[in-house]
Amino acid sequence: MALGVQITFDAHDPRRQAEFWALALDYVRQPPPPGFDTWEDFAAKIGMPEDQWDRLDAVIDPDGAGPRLLFQKVPEDKTVKNRVHLDVNVGEGADDRKAAARAHREKLEAAGARFLREVDEPAGWCFVMADPEGNEFCLQ
């Protein structure tokens, strides 16, 4: 049996990153544990200092198939190119893959993503994008 994975991102604003990636992947923000209406209620109950309540946020696949993405607050800026990135496959199964990717690109740009370049090579095609905090990803 394969082991599960979680993908963790360093972030200045974990909530904004979680909201962006939920939109990008058709995920949802992870709901709080049973018995709590909000994560803040949970944090207060376990005694977490209020100045740390924005330290973490996460998104999950509502169907349970994809990995959880965790966003953890860090003070430093992103300074170099990612060594690992996500490929977001919005065009898979679409009649016009590029049109599907263009439509999703517009939605993500409205949410704070930046278009970096288009790659069109014999091995494949994609838009190279950056999320609101500069993490690169491919949209295909």
Distances (CA, A) of 65 to 1, 25, 100: 15, 12, 22
pLDDT at 94 (0 to 100):
74
Q: What percent of the chain has pLDDT over 70?
A: 100
Q: How confident is the model at residue 24 (pLDDT cuts 50, 70, 90)?
A: very high
Q: Does the structure show a pLDDT above 90 at 92?
A: no
Mean pLDDT lowest among 2-6, 10-14, 110-114: 2-6
Report pLDDT digits (tens) over 33-42. 999 999 999 9
- In this prediction the pTM is 0.92
pLDDT at 93 (0 to 100):
79
Q: Does the structure show a pLDDT above 80 at 1?
A: no
- The identity of residue 109, as a single letter, is E
For each of the domains in the chain, give its residue range(s) and CATH number, in order of start. 6-73 (3.30.720), 86-139 (no CATH)
Mean pLDDT lowest among 39-48, 87-96, 100-109: 87-96
Report pLDDT digits (tens) over 48-71. 999 999 999 999 999 999 999 999
Q: How many CB atoms lie within 10 A of CB 84?
A: 7
* Residues 61, 30: Cα–Cα separation, whole Å: 9
* Residues 137, 46: Cα–Cα separation, whole Å: 35
pLDDT at 26 (0 to 100):
97
Nearest to 89 by CA among 124, 123, 115, 132: 124
